[in-house]
Structure 1
Amino acid sequence: MNSCIKKEYQIIGFFLVISFFSMTSCRNNGSDYISYYNSVNSIDSIYRMKNDTLTAIKKFKKLFRNFEPRNDERMEEYENYIKFSDKYDKNFGGKKSLYKLIPLVAPYWKFKREDTDFFKLYKKYGIDSITVEQKVAEWKKSLNKQLIDSFRIAFIRDQAIDSTTGQQSLNNFRKNAALLKWTLTNYGYPSMQKIGLETEEGVFMPMLLYLNHMAQIEDYEYFKTKLVDYVRSGDLPPRDYVEMVERYVQINHLKPVYGVKSTDEEIIKDSANINRNRRLIGLQSFKVRRNITKEFLKNNSTKK
């Protein structure tokens, strides 16, 4: 009898171990975009700081096998991978990869369509500008019209000035918080791949600004916890999430967490913790990010 019970426990234990490893592998199987962002940051430094573009290409290729690519602001990792690969005659997937890039740049199309090098690259692989424009139009049609209309109203409301106080209204922020909660429950995070960045009527809808105002109301703690899931899923860029947290820190005169709204003195005083926190959410160290920003601004000023 005892030996039977012992054998039963051994079998149960075996299945529990298998279950644990299955759950762990599911969590790590291409779903943790914080890991993705940290990999991008590491690869970015290989070509930006070490001038080793060929190694960066190999690492990018491996990364994009495991994750659907993003093309984050000022990093443009997927676009850089394609451009570098083309420059060094490395296979990046040709037309298939170029078509995959279009939805990632489509939210910024008003500016991107002025990039003549972008169209030259597509033409080189047999994709003309008319086809590119058609793909952007298809992307626009794929957006969630109900959400776009709801957030168009929310962004207009967000910027409205109270006639009595001359300030933006906390009640409006609360209404927008209710919309965001409803959206998370019914559609997930309202990313640019769901609502775009600007409506046809020209209403600008940057979620970074929207989240900034979530730091000023009672629902902040809910969003602080809940939205980390969407950073991990790749729907919410870390920088947008950090904007909300640091706004709360700033309003309440708390110790900096990520340092994006802090003075140089505050950052230097606690740089080890700040950089650790930044890595935990998928951001570069503060010093590296500052250098990237300087380079970005310099490159854009020379284009004008």
Structure 2
Amino acid sequence: MNFYNIKTQNKTIYLIHIICPVLCLYLCACKNQNYILYYNKVNEIDSIYRMANKPEKAIKKFIRLFHKYEPKNQELTEEYKTYIKLADQYHKNFGGKKSLYKLITLVAPYGNEYKKLYPLCKKYGIDSLEANQKVADWKMGLNRALIDSFSIAMMRDQEGRPENIALVYKNIEKNINLFFWTFEHYGFPDGQKIGRLGNDNVFIAMPTLLSHMIGSKKYPEFRKKLFEYVKSGHCSPQEYALMSDTYDYYKNTAVRYSLRNNNQDSVRVNRNRKSIGLPSIKHSSKIRKDKFKKI
């Protein structure tokens, strides 16, 4: 081996020693991101756009947010879709095809909802056939074993209700054990893993399944684990809040995240909402009104 090869080899080894630790730190940082901070930032930006009526300022803040976090597209808020549509409207670069492919995948669990994106996709060179193929590819990547398990869990969840209480509680224990097994092997069974429709078009109503877990003795451990998935971005704050509120209601305490109970201290309720990434009561009400106005 000549001197030149030795020198090149040493330089390569040196670069590996420098780059690898930096890359590892970056990947760890991404893995350990707290999505409650993300949700609260989304709420802040959405407020700038929706309530302060400053869309161009919101676009800039969305760009910075999505550079730091892998985007979600939460129900009602639909922050990633909002960002892309606003950016297109104001002729800002949102990433073109690459970002639209990502949005199609995020919307894919909601049936034909992605088809509403056809006009925007066409504008950037993605025809309906390509969009359909993107969704078909997404479906191929779903976890069939989990779809089978949670289709059964959903049907089992309804057995015996409301008369056969013994059977209901027996099935709750089976389902909570399925959740813990899934957490251990696959993480949280979100829409990107199992979609929304199970076998034979059974609708997998995850919020309903989660809220029924309050009937188990293992619920405190389950709730703690679920909060970790809110932080990691796999369980939505809305799903966690519904489960948490159902438990607190039946324990005769305030329904902390409810929009309907006007007798509560709004400052305390909003603080509790923020602690899991939900918008304030006033902001949430505005989001809902805007959403249903469009339907």
- TM above 0.5, yes or no, is yes
1:152 is matched by which residue type in structure 2? S
Which residue pairs with 1:63 in the alignment? 65
Out of 38, 41, 51, the position equivalent to 2:40 is 38
Which residue pairs with 1:10 in the alignment? none
Task: Find the aligned partners of 1:147 and 1:96 in 2 and give their Cα distance.
Answer: 28
Residue 106 of structure 2 is aligned to residue 104 of structure 1: yes
CA RMSD of aligned residues (A): 2.1
Task: Find the aligned partners of 1:131 and 1:29 in 2 and give their Cα distance.
Answer: 31
Displaced runs of 4+ in structure 1, greater than 2 A?
A: 25-30, 109-113, 161-168, 255-260
1:294 is matched by which residue type in structure 2? K
How does the TM-score come out when normalised to structure 1? Answer: 0.84
How does the TM-score come out when normalised to structure 2? Answer: 0.86
TM-superposed deviation, 1:292: 1.4
Task: Find the aligned partners of 2:255 and 2:162 in 1 and give their Cα distance.
Answer: 34
Spell out the pairing of 1:141-160 with structure 2 (5 A cutoff).
141-160=140-159
Which residue pairs with 2:279 in the alignment? 284
Task: Find the aligned partners of 1:168 and 1:70 in 2 and give their Cα distance.
Answer: 37
Which residue pairs with 1:254 in the alignment? 253
- Change beyond 3 A, Cα 1:252–1:98: same
String of CA shifts for 1:43-69, please: whole Å, max 9, x gaps. 001110111100000000000000000
Confirm or deny: 8 A CA contact 1:161 1:169 kept in the other structure.
yes
Which residue pairs with 1:125 in the alignment? 124
Structure 1 unmatched runs, 5+ = 1-21
1:67 is matched by which residue type in structure 2? Y
Deviates more, 1:47-56 or 1:102-111: 102-111
Which residue pairs with 2:77 in the alignment? 75
- Change beyond 3 A, Cα 1:29–1:211: closer
Which residue pairs with 2:261 in the alignment? 263
TM-superposed deviation, 1:291: 2.0
Confirm or deny: 8 A CA contact 1:158 1:168 kept in the other structure.
no
SS at match of 1:169: helix
Confirm or deny: 8 A CA contact 1:215 1:244 kept in the other structure.
yes
SS at match of 1:72: coil
Which residue pairs with 1:273 in the alignment? 268
Confirm or deny: 8 A CA contact 2:151 2:199 kept in the other structure.
no
Confirm or deny: 8 A CA contact 2:42 2:79 kept in the other structure.
yes
TM-superposed deviation, 1:28: 8.0
SS at match of 1:73: coil
1:110 is matched by which residue type in structure 2? N
Which residue pairs with 1:84 in the alignment? 86
Confirm or deny: 8 A CA contact 2:157 2:172 kept in the other structure.
yes
Confirm or deny: 8 A CA contact 1:30 1:67 kept in the other structure.
no
Which residue pairs with 1:3 in the alignment? none
Structure 2 unmatched runs, 5+ = 1-23
Residue 112 of structure 2 is aligned to residue 137 of structure 1: no
Which residue pairs with 2:207 in the alignment? 208
Task: Find the aligned partners of 1:178 and 1:194 in 2 and give their Cα distance.
Answer: 19
